[in-house]
Structure 1
């Protein structure tokens, strides 16, 4: 069924927008000549957002498997952009921290992201952007709870 309503449904618009955002992000990072893959750039941005977190927390925030993120972090560590330190709360795990060397690269990545967001939100005024951010935050929180509820049902 290919109705107009189906094409404009909230789920369709959200999913389609997220795929376009991801696709354009990947292209921009690839073309920016930063020496990182889009996955590595995402991992670095995530470490910056939750500096000092465990690898599993970074993977969860990005929505990838921990082993995939481990590969990204290995590359970032080899470039001296992040470092792994022992977790003071759990000696079996390590926490990931930014290094000083990451600051210029983070500025360049954020410049690409900011440019993409400006383009994506063309036509929004400040009030629209604020409301959109608030609504997406609520949506994300609700979906995280739904995902958590589902995983609890599976483990029972």
Structure 2
């Protein structure tokens, strides 16, 4: 008899929730008719959350190929929502920043996603949401610290 894997194990639950949440995000962004695709919305959110970050790092954080990100950023830049600026520490590299023109879009996006997450976390209450957020931050920090690939990359960035 084959071994049954526990579908309620933390890793399985996180994977399942992540997949479901990504689909919900895509549907929400499409329904909001913002004039950008869900991929562009994810890229814009990453840029806004990590102002002045290199393109390669954004792609890594999003788990996508640099060329895919470049296409998203090209379209966002053409719409005036982001700008690529020279990295002061590495003249070969470009950092991506949000422009003031993106503020209304980011505000609308934030409101829609906040509404979505409130619906999906219904039943947790404010304390439950904060506990979930705190525990996920601990898990993220542990993953970054214990992943040898991430540890090497972050150590190199700090030097």
How far does residue 7 in structure 1 lie from its aligned partner after superposition? 2.3
| Larger RCO (CA within 8 A; separation ≥ 6) | 1
How far does residue 51 in structure 1 lie from its aligned partner after superposition? 1.1
Distance 1:67 1:147, change over 3 A: farther
How far does residue 63 in structure 1 lie from its aligned partner after superposition? 2.0
1:7-18 correspondence runs (5 A)? 7-18=7-18
1:121 is matched with 121
Map Cα deviations across residues 84-138 of structure 1 (whole Å, 9 max, x no partner).
1111111101111111110011011111211111011101122211111111011
Structure 1 CA distance for aligned equivalents of residues 142 and 33 of structure 2: 37
TM-score by structure 2 length? Answer: 0.87
How far does residue 144 in structure 1 lie from its aligned partner after superposition? 2.3
**Structure 2 contact 144–150 (Cα < 8 Å) conserved:** no
Look up the SS of the partner of 2:35 in the other structure: coil
2:24 is matched with 24
Q: Provide the aligned length of Structure 1 versus Structure 2.
A: 151
Structure 1 CA distance for aligned equivalents of residues 57 and 70 of structure 2: 12
TM-score by structure 1 length? Answer: 0.88
How far does residue 47 in structure 1 lie from its aligned partner after superposition? 0.7
Distance 1:149 1:99, change over 3 A: closer
How far does residue 148 in structure 1 lie from its aligned partner after superposition? 2.9
Distance 1:151 1:100, change over 3 A: closer
Distance 1:144 1:151, change over 3 A: closer
How far does residue 28 in structure 1 lie from its aligned partner after superposition? 0.8
